């Protein structure tokens, strides 16, 4: 499962829209869209925030062989 697929899965598990997640992270909705489509990657700062928001490890978020 790709990083983008995991962000989608975890965002939906937390019942967050792309817009609401974007507001929490102080980025645009388009940025969330690009992450979810694997068109770009979150910065280290935003990865730190995603780990906290989703309550997961960096390994879970970043390693391809860990499934949801």
Long-range Cβ pairs for the range 24-28 (8 Å, 24+): 24/49, 24/53, 25/49, 25/50, 25/53
Residue-range domains of the chain with CATH: 3-59 (1.10.260.40)
Q: CA–CA separation, 18 vs 33, rounded Å? A: 7
Q: CA–CA separation, 14 vs 10, rounded Å? A: 6
The per-residue pLDDT for 67 is: 57
The per-residue pLDDT for 15 is: 98
Tens of pLDDT along the chain (68 residues) come to 999 999 999 999 999 999 999 999 999 999 999 999 999 999 999 999 999 999 999 999 998 765 55
């Amino acid at each position: 499962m790709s990083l983008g697929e995991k962000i989608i899965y975890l965002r939906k598990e937390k019942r967050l829209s792309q817009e609401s997640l974007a507001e929490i992270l102080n980025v645009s909705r388009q940025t969330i869209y690009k992450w979810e489509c694997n068109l770009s990657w979150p910065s280290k700062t935003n990865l730190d925030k995603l780990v906290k928001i989703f309550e997961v490890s960096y390994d879970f978020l970043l390693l391809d062989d860990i499934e949801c």
